Amino acid sequence: MRLLKMKGWCIAFSFTSLSIALASCGAGHHSQPDTIYMPDMVYSPAFKAQQEGAMRMPVKGTIPRNFTPYAYAKDPEAAGRELKNPFHRTAKVFARGQALFNTYCIVCHGPAGEGDGTIVPKFPRPPSLQSDKVRTWPDGRIYHVISMGQNLMPSYASQIDVSDRWAIIHYVRALQRSKHPTPEDLKVAAAAAKQ
């Protein structure tokens, strides 16, 4: 399958080993799906088979089932308006989001999302996820960035499935509230810590 057309260079992350490799990005398939990021993969599977029964079904229309194309590729604002987080912020979802954030996002965005990940400044410092801008973004707007990427940030659609993206967003919200926790936030965090 060496039919790749070079479209320039992208940074690809191998999150299992936390090593970073430069890899060419192009359309098509290749032999190392775990280590190479594919920008064209904005089509996402719905739930993993074993999650289908295990997790609450989402509100109709919020999550494409099977391989429905992502409908908001060109309209981040509509994604923000229309896509709703289908999960409640349970301790389980929170813990999942935390683990995923620490796998996929922390390297650039830092432990509290302030843009101080370990890769900075080799990779340009991302804007803070604690900004007024991102704090006031609806969940669907953050979902859009994870799904599509944004400028230097690559899409994570091929690596993080739909339900996991929403779990990460819950965790980002918790990070944002961490400076001014509500009583409810404290309860959730305490429950997660006991797990």
The residues binding ligand HEC (CB under 6 A) are 104-105, 107-109, 123-124, 126-127, 129, 131, 133-134, 142, 145-146, 150-153, 156, 160, 168, 172
Least Cβ distance, residue 186 to ligand HEC (angstroms): 23
Nearer to ligand HEC, 169 or 188 (CB): 169
- H/E stretch holding 23 reads strand 19-24
Nearer to ligand HEC, 119 or 189 (CB): 119
Nearer to ligand HEC, 26 or 130 (CB): 130
Least Cβ distance, residue 97 to ligand HEC (angstroms): 9
Least Cβ distance, residue 53 to ligand HEC (angstroms): 26
The CA-atom distances, in angstroms, between 146 and each of 13, 76, 84, 125, 189 are: 15, 11, 14, 17, 24
Structure tokens at 46: 């719905």
Least Cβ distance, residue 125 to ligand HEC (angstroms): 7
Nearer to ligand HEC, 4 or 10 (CB): 10
The CA-atom distances, in angstroms, between 5 and each of 24, 28, 29 are: 9, 8, 11
Eight-class DSSP state of 58: P
Nearer to ligand HEC, 32 or 150 (CB): 150
Distance in angstroms (rounded) separating the CA atoms of residues 128 and 110: 9
How many beta carbons lie within 10 A of that of residue 172, not counting itself? 23
Eight-class DSSP state of 27: S
Least Cβ distance, residue 16 to ligand HEC (angstroms): 14
